[in-house]
Amino acid sequence: MSVPEARKRILDGVFPLPAEVVALTDACGRVSAAPVISRLSNPPADVSSMDGYAVRAADLSAQGTRLTCIGSAPAGHPFAGQVGPGECVRIFTGAVVPSGADAILIQENAQAEGQSVTTTTTLAPGTYIRRKGQDFAEGQDIIPAGRRLSARDIGLAAAASHAWVQVTRRPRVAIAATGDELLLPGSGIGAGQIVNSNTPMLAALLRAAGAEPVMLPVVRDDMADLATLERMVDGVDMLLTAGGASVGSHDLVRRGLEQVGLKTDFWKIAMRPGRPLMYGHLERLPFIGLPGNPVAAFVCSVVFVLPALRRMAGLAMPVMPPEHAVLGADVPENDRRMDHLRARLDHDGNGRLVATPFPVQDSAMLHVLAESAALVLRAPNAPPAKAGDPCEIIRIDRVLE
Ligand SMILES: Nc1nc2c(c(=O)[nH]1)N[C@H]1C(S)=C(S)[C@@H](COP(=O)(O)OP(=O)(O)OC[C@H]3O[C@@H](n4cnc5c(N)ncnc54)[C@H](O)[C@@H]3O)O[C@H]1N2
Ligand code: MOO
């Protein structure tokens, strides 16, 4: 099965989560579950964009004008009266333009002496006035549903007088590493043992992508131990395992979960790294069985799990289109598995993004993965390509999109 087909099958089996209400200040990075409708207009009234004098444009003449200043309008303290012919009001940036005035004379172009203000400037009506609602109007749909909220959106919603917003609930994703050889980081390592790097790495990735990881204990390569997973997933929205996905006689995850009701949708895809990926449902719970090699587990999470999370979050575009770069090194012809080459990213002298795959692409090499900022995509059976040729990449140095 191809990577796009596998991803489509996964996306067809996951659904947007229900909404919850959060404080606006906690909403950055969350996904709006309903449109945000402005509760007022911005600005709420015609306001001055400069410090100076609110005047009647028709009063001003290039031959010279003398006006009588009848009051003052600082921001937050509107002038209650009316500006009549030959009159002006001292005004400051952000203050409401008094009735009768239709332009702002900036103070640099005016001379004040007592109540008297003189100028030789002329102004078109509307000069230096921000019109009521010029940014947005009351009742306007200012943020659509299904948008990842940025700091800019938070500012906009605040200006529209929202203290709370509706967002989709964070997906809760259980992660279980499997393998008799696995130990917690910090443990003393005995013969044949290795440290479980997958659980902390995947938890960090999921958290950075806006999900709530639930780290389950390591599961042994044992049918009875695997069966216990079914009892650990109450209240979660997706189950991930890492390891035990391949064809070895100790790779038991699929059979171990099938004995407690897993319906396998597919197993094995034309992808490198990550050939033994599994997908199915345990009752209604989507299950993705990641390969144990940490780089394969990471790459499969980027390619399949993050789009599934985006769909659960209610984003309209679960799969981000690949970005463009040029190759920083020659790459050989590809075989029939879609490849994801771990690569450095730089800019060349022309400002182009250059992706340079690391010479060794072993799916157990975490140091190379950590130094990589992108995956260079190599289509099945792609011909050899030269340094400088265009290529498609998935960035892995930022995952919240
Ligand atoms: N005869 C074949 N052997 C293998 C095939 C195959 O098609 N035929 N596929 C290879 C590929 S590709 C991959 S990827 C791996 C995937 O195997 P598993 O998913 O069964 O993973 P394990 O055997 O459990 O582990 C593989 C490797 O990764 C280490 N590992 C496992 N879990 C963790 C963890 N939580 N933290 C750190 N490292 C972990 C494990 O010790 C192994 O070294 O299978 C190939 N074999
Ligand atoms: O597909 Mo495996 O992921 O080469 O290590």
pTM, whole model, 2 decimals?
Answer: 0.92
180 inside domain: yes
Report d(CA 116, CA 108) in Å as an integer. 15
CATH number for the domain including 159?
A: 3.90.105.10
Question: Domain check: are 300 and 222 in the same one?
Answer: yes
CA of 355 to the centre of ligand 2 (A): 21
Q: Give the residues across from 339 on adjacent strands.
A: 272, 378
User: Using a 6 Å cutoff on CB, does residue 275 contact ligand 2?
Assistant: yes
**Can you tell me whether residue 40 is helix, strand or coil?**
coil
Question: Domain check: are 164 and 181 in the same one?
Answer: no
User: Using a 6 Å cutoff on CB, does residue 244 contact ligand 1?
Assistant: yes
318 inside domain: no
Ligand having the closest approach to the CA of 194: 1
Q: What is the mean pLDDT of residues 283-298?
A: 97
Sorting pLDDT into bands at 50, 70 and 90, what band is 247?
A: confident
192 inside domain: yes
User: Using a 6 Å cutoff on CB, does residue 363 contact ligand 1?
Assistant: yes
Sorting pLDDT into bands at 50, 70 and 90, what band is 13?
A: very high
317 inside domain: no
401 inside domain: no
Report d(CA 179, CA 181) in Å as an integer. 5
pLDDT for position 381: 98
264 inside domain: yes
Looking at the 3D structure of the chain, how many domains does it have? 4
Alpha helices in 174-266 (DSSP H): 198-208, 223-227, 253-258
Contacts of 262 (CB under 8 A, 6+ apart): 254, 280, 281, 282, 287
- Count of helix runs (H) and strand runs (E) in the chain: 8, 26
Q: What residue numbers bound the domain in which 155 lies?
A: 20-41+138-168
400 inside domain: no
CA of 268 to the centre of ligand 1 (A): 13
Residue 309 has pLDDT above 80, yes or no: yes
User: Using a 6 Å cutoff on CB, does residue 273 contact ligand 2?
Assistant: yes
Question: Domain check: are 178 and 295 in the same one?
Answer: yes
**Under a CB-based contact definition with an 8 Å cutoff, are residues 335 and 383 in contact?**
no
pLDDT for position 373: 97
CATH number for the domain including 83?
A: 2.170.190.11
Question: Domain check: are 280 and 186 in the same one?
Answer: yes
Report d(CA 330, CA 318) in Å as an integer. 31
Question: Domain check: are 124 and 243 in the same one?
Answer: no
